Structure 1
C-alpha cells in the first residue's frame, strides 16, 4: 500500500470468480473515506473523500474482447444502460467493469441465468489461471536446475542467490494458491449447479492468503535489493532497475496499443504481446551475460579477497612451498546459512586449490557433500565439529 496526500494505491490481486469479495472491499473502503477512482493491473487507486455509503457492482462483461482497449463500443452501450438504472461507471480492467451507486439499489445483473454466469466467469478466469500456470513453470524451472541439477551446494553460501530463490518460491506459491482455489471453485460450482443450487462467489480466506503472500514477496524483493546494495554489487542492482524499467515500458506500450483504434487491433495486440516480451528477454539476457563476463574479468584481475580471515586459509607455505606471485586467487561467500571459501595458488613445487564449505547446520554441509561425491566422484574428507 502506498499513500500520497489524498491518493492511495493498494495492491489487490484477484480473479474474475472472486468479484464478490472485491465488491465488499470497495464498500468498506468507501465507508472509511477512500473512493475507488481507477484500476491498473493489480493496483487499485483510491481518492480521499468524506465517508460514504456506496454500493459497488463488479460485472464480468464477456462481450468485450481481452484485446479490446478502453471505452469499447459494446462497453459504452452497457454503461449507458447501467447509468439509466442508477449505476455510475468507475473503471475497467479487461472484461471486468466496476460500477457504483448511492443508497441501496439492487445490483444490475448482466447474466440472470446461473449456468451462463458460471460459464462466463469460468472462461474469464481460466485465461489468467493458465497464465499463472505458465508463471509457475518459468519460476520453478530455474529453481529445479539450481537445486537438483547444480554442480554443488555453494549457492547456499550466497545471500543474493538465497534471496532470489526465496522470492521465486514465494511467488510460485502465490500462483499455485490461485490455481488450487480456482480448481476448488470449478468443482464446487459445477456440483452446486447440478444440484440446482446457487454458486457462491465469496472467497475471503483465499484472497486474504494471497494478499499476505504478495506482501511477503514484495518485502523479500526489497531485502534482495538491500543485499545487492550492501554487497556493493551495483552492476546487478542496475540490472534489476533496468528490468523494472523494461517491465514498465512493456505495460505502457501494451496499454497504448490496445487503446488505439487499429483496423486489425486483435492481431496488433497479439503481435505486441509476443514481440515485446521477446525483445525484453533478449535485451535482459545480453545485459546479464555482460554482467557475468565483467565479473569474471574482475575476479581474474583482483586475485586477493580481503574478507578472508587469515587463520582459515591453508596456504602453500603450510606445505613448505613458496608463492610464485600473481597466481593467488581467493574468493569467499557467506550467508546466514553457510559460508564457502575457494583458494587457488601455484608454487614452485605444487599447485594448491580447495573449497572450504562450512555451516552451523548439518543439512547444508551434507547437501553440498552429496553433490560433490555423486556428481564428481571425487574423494572428500567430511567431519562434524
Structure 2
C-alpha cells in the first residue's frame, strides 16, 4: 500500500528555481504532489499519477522574516490565479504554483528583464548573505583549531570538528563560488540584454550530489559524535548544546510567529532584542544548575582494573586516617580510545590533601606527543581571568631523569609536584598536591612505570 505522504531531500539552490518546476512535473507523473517545502526537505502527498504543469516564481515581497499572507502576497497570488495558476506553498522568496497539463496558462513573469532584476536583488543577495555568515563562523572556528589543540582529540565531537569541519567548509565554499560566478554572468547578460541562463534539472541534480550529499554525510557524523560523547559526559554535551539549541528554538519561534503574521513588522526588532537579552541572562543560570546537579555523578568508591591508578595511600605508604572522596571521569574518542581523570581528596582533621591523575592512551605516538605538548603549553600559559594571567607554571625538563625513566618525553613543574610523561602512545599527567611524592625515588618511579606503562601495546 502506497504511503499518503513522502519526505524527500530538497537540495536545490534557490537559483535553480526553474529546474524545480521540471522536478515537480516528474514527481506528479509518479503520483506525488508537493505539499510543503523547506530549506533542506520537502513534503509530498500521494495523488493519482497525472501530467501537471508547475511554475516556480520569485516574489520580491517574500523573505525569511516576511509573513506568509500579506495584502501584497494575496494580491500577487490572486493575479497568478487569474492567469490559470493554483498556489501550492511558498519558501521565502519562492512561490510554487501548478496547473492542469492541458490547460491554457499565461506565464507569471512575461517581462524577462524584470524577472532578471528580481532574481538579482532577491535570490542572489539572499544566497550570498547566508554563505557569508557561514564563512565568517567557519573562519572563526578554523582559526581556533589551528594549530591542532590536544583537547579536541579527547572527544568524538572534537575529532570530527578538527578533521571534518574543514571539509564541510569546502563543500560550502564551492556553492558560494558557483553563486558568485552565476551572479557575474547574470549581470553581464542583463547589461547586454541577453537572457539569464536557466539551470537545467540535470545540472541541478549533479550539484545536489556533489555538494549536498557529502555535506549531509558530514552533518550526520557530527550528530553521531554528539551522541557518542553524551554517553561519557552528558553534562558537557548539554552545556555545549545549550546555547545553540536555545538560540535555534527562539529563532524558529520568532520566524514561525512572523510567518503566521503574529508579530508586526515594527515589533520584530524589539522581539529579537528581548530574545537576545533572555538568552544572555538565562543560559548562565541554567548552566550553573546543570553543573551543580552533576557534581555527584562521577563520585566513586572504586575504579575498575581497566583504568590503572595509584592512590594517596600508596604514595604516602601510610594508612588513610580521614575521610576520602574519589571522582572518576572516563572518556574516549576515535583518536584517544581511552582517557580518564581520577581525583582523590583526603580530609584529616579539617586539612585537605589531594592528587589527580590524567591518563591518555592514543592510537599512536604522534597524537600522544601532541597531547604531551598541549598539556605543557597549557600549564605554561596559565589561564586568563579579568585581564590577568594566573596559574602560570614554569616547566622544566631533565634529560638525565628522562633517560632514567626510559620514556620519550618528560616534563615537571619547577615545584616538582606535577609531572607529565609520554612513552609511546601513552601520556600520564600526575599532579600531587600533597607534596609526598618524590619523583627521584626509585620505588615511586617503578610504581608509576609498572602501573601505567606496562601495556605491551605501546606504539613507538
C-alpha distance in structure 2 between counterparts of 1:182 and 1:261, whole Å: 34
Q: Which has the higher contact order (CA 8 A, sep 6+)?
A: 1
**Corresponding residue of 1:62:** 60
1:154 corresponds, among 151, 155, 158, to 151
C-alpha distance in structure 1 between counterparts of 2:302 and 2:12, whole Å: 48
**Corresponding residue of 2:221:** 220
Query: 1:1-385 to 2 correspondence within 5 Å?
Result: 5-64=3-62, 67-103=65-101, 108-110=107-109, 112-114=111-113, 116-125=114-123, 126-138=125-137, 141=140, 144-145=143-144, 147-148=145-146, 153-162=150-159, 172=169, 175-193=172-190, 197-202=194-199, 204=204, 205-217=206-218, 219-220=220-221, 222-224=223-225, 226-227=227-228, 230-231=231-232, 233=234, 236=237, 247-248=248-249, 250-260=251-261, 265-276=264-275, 279-280=278-279, 282-295=281-294, 297-298=295-296, 302-303=299-300, 306=303, 309-310=306-307, 312-316=308-312, 319=315, 321-322=317-318, 324=320, 326-338=324-336, 339-345=338-344, 352-377=355-380, 378=395, 379=411, 380-384=420-424, 385=459
8 Å contact from structure 1 (residues 35, 47) kept in 2: yes
User: 1:283-325: CA deviations, max 9, x gaps?
Assistant: 4454334323443x236x7155745625x33445665634645
C-alpha distance in structure 2 between counterparts of 1:155 and 1:80, whole Å: 56
C-alpha distance in structure 2 between counterparts of 1:369 and 1:235, whole Å: 23
TM-score normalised to the size of structure 1?
0.77
8 Å contact from structure 1 (residues 308, 332) kept in 2: no
Gaps of 5+ in 1: none
8 Å contact from structure 1 (residues 55, 103) kept in 2: yes
C-alpha distance in structure 2 between counterparts of 1:141 and 1:285, whole Å: 23
C-alpha distance in structure 2 between counterparts of 1:286 and 1:34, whole Å: 48
More strand by share: 2
* Displacement of 1:360: 1.5
8 Å contact from structure 2 (residues 325, 345) kept in 1: yes
Distance 1:219 1:190, change over 3 A: same
8 Å contact from structure 1 (residues 181, 206) kept in 2: no
C-alpha distance in structure 2 between counterparts of 1:118 and 1:144, whole Å: 38
8 Å contact from structure 1 (residues 10, 44) kept in 2: yes
8 Å contact from structure 1 (residues 91, 99) kept in 2: yes
Distance 1:333 1:83, change over 3 A: same
- Larger Rg: 1 or 2? 2
C-alpha distance in structure 2 between counterparts of 1:16 and 1:142, whole Å: 27
Residue correspondences, number = 373
8 Å contact from structure 1 (residues 63, 74) kept in 2: yes
C-alpha distance in structure 1 between counterparts of 2:247 and 2:193, whole Å: 49
TM-score normalised to the size of structure 2?
0.67
Distance 1:111 1:382, change over 3 A: farther
Gaps of 5+ in 2: 381-394, 396-410, 412-419, 425-458
Distance 1:222 1:5, change over 3 A: farther
C-alpha distance in structure 1 between counterparts of 2:210 and 2:291, whole Å: 37
* Displacement of 1:183: 1.7
Distance 1:91 1:322, change over 3 A: same
Distance 1:32 1:187, change over 3 A: same
User: 1:13-53: CA deviations, max 9, x gaps?
Assistant: 54432212322222222122110122345442211111222
* Displacement of 1:6: 0.7
More helix by share: 1
Q: Secondary structure at the match of 2:97?
A: strand
Distance 1:215 1:200, change over 3 A: same
Q: Secondary structure at the match of 1:227?
A: helix
* Displacement of 1:143: 6.0
8 Å contact from structure 2 (residues 246, 279) kept in 1: no
User: 1:250-288: CA deviations, max 9, x gaps?
Assistant: 4244333343377xx322234334443553565445433
